[in-house]
Amino acid sequence: MNNKQLEEQMIENYKREKHMMILVFAQWCINHNLDPAALYHSAYPDQPNNEALQQALALTVSKEEAGEVPDDTLLGVLSLFGNEELAFIVTQEIEKRPRDKRY
């Protein structure tokens, strides 16, 4: 594999992982009766609609069908991709829940 192929593969891996991060965020929102687009807009008010988020929303399932997405997992994934603003908004939403509903 030459450098160009390796670079292209790394870019594709990053894009897939980023889409997975967005899907985890969207499913977490659904699981907690939150609007993913509204939270995203709160974190990034100057950005237009996020196409990747719209694609992820099409892949989410109802909270009854979904597995649990722990708060720490979401926050870790957001941090890994440098989404500190979104992690801050998510943290605010977590803090609004009663203590016994935080996980």
**3-class DSSP state of 86:** helix
72 touches 90 (CB < 8 A)? no
Cβ neighbours of residue 1 closer than 8 Å, sequence gap 6 or more: 9
CB atoms within 10 A of CB 77: 20
Q: Is the pTM of this model over 0.75?
A: yes
pLDDT, tens digit, for every residue of 40-96?
999 999 988 889 999 999 999 999 999 999 999 999 999 999 999 999 999 999 999
Cβ neighbours of residue 94 closer than 8 Å, sequence gap 6 or more: 71, 102
User: Which pLDDT does position 103 carry in this prediction?
Assistant: 61
**What does DSSP assign to residue 99?**
G
Domain boundaries, the chain: 3-101
